[in-house]
Amino acid sequence: MEKMKLKMLYSDLKSDIDVIEKELETALNSSSHMINDASLHLLQAGGKRIRPVFVLVSAKFGQYNIDQMKNIAVPLELIHMGSLVHDDVIDDSDMRRGRRTVKAQTNNRVAMYTGDFIFARALEYVTSIENPRVHQILARTMVEIVNGEVIQIEDKFRVDQNLKDYFRRIKRKTALLIESSCELGAVAAGVDPKNVRHLKQFGYYVGMSFQIVDDILDFVSTDRQLGKPAGSDLLHGNITLPIILLKDDPTIQRFIQRAEHGFVTEEERMAMLEVVRKSDAIKEAVKISNLYLKKAMKEVEALPNNPMKKKLRDIALFIGKRKF
Amino acid sequence: MDATYIQKNINQLKTNIFMHVRHRTLLQYTGEPVLNEEQLFYLLLPFFNGENWNDKMDKSIITVGIVHSSLSEHEKIHELDATSKEQQLTVLSGDYYSGRYYQILAESGNIPLIRKISEGIVHRCEQQVRVYENKSYTFRQWLESLTVIETALIKSFYTAYNFNQYLPIVENCLLLLRLNEEDKKHKNGETSPIYQLMVDSSVQHEEPFERLILREIDTLTTNLLDYLQTSTFLHDDLKQYIKQKVLFSQK
């Protein structure tokens, strides 16, 4: 249902999204049938393709040309895919979006090769763009994403985290790639610098909201909706916004201690989920997400008149209200 | 040029690579990047041989070295259990090095080399994953895989700067060194997965594996020595250095 809504939002970009999908398929084509199978599996898992969409929509504020934009949109989605494959090794995850992960289907080593293959394909693809600024932005983004993940590992099970720690982490983990999608689309399409800044900031705010909603959904969705056990973030030691807002709760504190030692039972997981779901932390987190959305909308206001302004607003709203 | 001069330059290259990927947390948990001095020597070979050399090339070989260490980090990941903090950060150190190589080349606007290196990584990953494929390859195909694994990234650098005349020597030498190393490990009971598959593939041959590999090593050594003897573009002192290296590795 939610995916349908998203497709409706993209409907007038459908032919260009189809170009991206086809290009993704070509980019992932490998002489190794094992990498091919893994890549096909990733493609079939779908995903929201929000990064390519942000590239295309941002580019529509300048000289839009799908043949050029695909060379930005495809690598960004590939970088996202490659990092998911490696993240599943780090998180020891067997399921993602209701499907078995590459590492679960094969082993960690194959997942490493597959991720490296996908990253390399992304860079191979983006080199058709000569503008060095595009590469500088993308390279910085890739390095910062990894820095964010390093911090995430360092912060695992660390209960004395504050909001600033959390925002700093999710900025690098998620917001940066969405910010860069908007910025790169705009830069490649020759949008003027002032509007590039607005689009970049829009991407940042939407990215922050997107991750906060993701972190909320990890607690309020069912195992089936998530395709993995609800509360997985906390089971892995990732202290997200709802938990930071609830960190003094004794049930939560006990749960974190037990999760750190790998002693959590199914009853304890359910009890933890009940505490989080019944608390005000979820409402508070939604409020914070909405504040970011509001800021995103302000950036849209500052952009020149263009039919894509409505599209940006609609996608931002969808992201803020999504249920999957 | 003597061995001390060569080693000094290899050490300098190593230091430069370390400097460009220094990261406090990663250093603490995963240590210094892994670098293979033989591969570094072959990256520097055109320089040692007096080719026109510039800062751009210096930066380029640093980035190729970084990519080698990135992929080496990922070789350290255990097949079934990567849950320890060290293993998790090892995944990220490989990704970090990979991002840094791109960043360095992006800052200097060297887009053609980014393309060549990416193609090299793709090719290398495709060969490395063969170990886990449910498909049988011949002894010869495994030798080809090992050649790609050892040389794909150096080849990227050579192709980008038209140093292709060095390629046969690099392919020959690095394969030979790898086979010698694998053979020693095998004899000590530490057979690597790829070498085990080579052993398994030898059943298709009439000769036993031990004789097959010995013959291959002999052929590669003879070819290399012939090549060194006849090549006109390589300085004599370098020929001598390479010859000694290869003969030493067989002891």
Residue-wise pLDDT tens digits, B145-201: 999 999 999 999 999 999 999 999 999 999 999 999 999 999 999 999 999 999 999
| Spacing of C-alpha B38 from chain mean position | 7
User: For A166-178, what is the mean pLDDT?
Assistant: 96
Chain B: nearest CA to A26, how far in angstroms? Answer: 14
Query: What are the respective helix, strand and coil percentages of chain A, to the nearest 5?
Result: 75, 0, 25
Does A150 contact B129 at a Cβ distance shorter than 8 Å? Answer: no
Does B125 contact A34 at a Cβ distance shorter than 8 Å? Answer: no
Does B102 contact A33 at a Cβ distance shorter than 8 Å? Answer: no
Q: Compare CB distances from A123 to B82, B91, B102 and report the shortest one's residue.
A: B102
Q: Per CATH, the architecture of B3-249 is what?
A: Orthogonal Bundle (1.10)
pLDDT (tens digit, 9 = 90+) per residue, A107-124? Answer: 999 999 999 999 999 999
Q: Compare CB distances from B103 to A114, A140, A145 and report the shortest one's residue.
A: A140
Q: Is B94 on the interface with A (CB under 8 A)?
A: yes
User: What pLDDT score does A68 carry?
Assistant: 96
Q: Is B153 on the interface with A (CB under 8 A)?
A: no
Superfamily the domain A2-321 falls into: Farnesyl Diphosphate Synthase (1.10.600.10)
Closest alpha carbon to B192 in B203, B211, B179: B179
Does B118 contact A123 at a Cβ distance shorter than 8 Å? Answer: yes
pLDDT (tens digit, 9 = 90+) per residue, B59-106? Answer: 999 999 999 999 999 999 999 999 999 999 999 999 999 999 999 999
Any bridge partners for residue A100, and if so which? A95
User: For B225-242, what is the mean pLDDT?
Assistant: 95
Q: Is B148 on the interface with A (CB under 8 A)?
A: no
| Identity at B204, one-letter amino acid code | Q
Q: Tell me the percentage of chain B whose pLDDT exceeds 70.
A: 100
Residue A264 reports pLDDT greater than 90 = yes
User: What pLDDT score does B53 carry?
Assistant: 98
User: For A250-259, what is the mean pLDDT?
Assistant: 94
Residue A322 reports pLDDT greater than 90 = no
Q: Is A25 on the interface with B (CB under 8 A)?
A: no
Output the CA angle B33-B36-B38, nearest 5 degrees: 160
Residue A266 reports pLDDT greater than 90 = yes
Chain A: nearest CA to B175, how far in angstroms? Answer: 21
Among A81, A85, A94, A116, the strongest candidate for a mutation testing the B interface, having the largest count of B CBs within 10 A, is: A116
* Residues of chain B positioned with their CB less than 8 A from the CB of A30: 122, 126
User: What pLDDT score does A1 carry?
Assistant: 57
A210 neighbors A296 (Cβ within 8 angstroms): no
User: For B28-47, what is the mean pLDDT?
Assistant: 97
User: What pLDDT score does A219 carry?
Assistant: 96
Chain A residues 143-162 with CB within 8 Å of chain B: 143, 145-147, 149-150, 153-154
* Closest residue in chain B to residue A118, using alpha carbons only: B122
Q: Compare CB distances from A110 to B23, B111, B129 and report the shortest one's residue.
A: B129
State yes or no: ipTM above 0.95.
yes
Residue A132 reports pLDDT greater than 90 = yes
User: What pLDDT score does B206 carry?
Assistant: 84
Q: Is A130 on the interface with B (CB under 8 A)?
A: yes
Chain B residues 9-68 with CB within 8 Å of chain A: 23, 25-26
User: What pLDDT score does A324 carry?
Assistant: 61
Map tokens 């974190």 to a residue: A256
User: For A27-48, what is the mean pLDDT?
Assistant: 91
Closest alpha carbon to A138 in A71, A201, A56, A65: A71
User: How many whole angstroms separate alpha carbon B142 and alpha carbon B175?
Assistant: 11
Residue A3 reports pLDDT greater than 90 = no
User: What pLDDT score does A45 carry?
Assistant: 83
Question: Which of A56-60, A94-98, B57-61 has the lowest average pLDDT?
Answer: A94-98
Q: Tell me the percentage of chain A whose pLDDT exceeds 70.
A: 99
User: For A93-108, what is the mean pLDDT?
Assistant: 91
User: What pLDDT score does A149 carry?
Assistant: 96
Does A34 contact B122 at a Cβ distance shorter than 8 Å? Answer: no
* Residues of chain B positioned with their CB less than 8 A from the CB of A90: 82, 88, 91-92
A217 neighbors A242 (Cβ within 8 angstroms): no
Chain A: nearest CA to B110, how far in angstroms? Answer: 8
Q: Compare CB distances from B118 to A89, A120, A143 and report the shortest one's residue.
A: A120
Tokens standing for residue A241 = 């916004």
Chain A: nearest CA to B56, how far in angstroms? Answer: 16
Residue B1 reports pLDDT greater than 80 = no
Q: Compare CB distances from B109 to A32, A106, A132 and report the shortest one's residue.
A: A132
Any bridge partners for residue A95, and if so which? A100
pLDDT bin (cut points 50, 70, 90) of residue A226 is confident
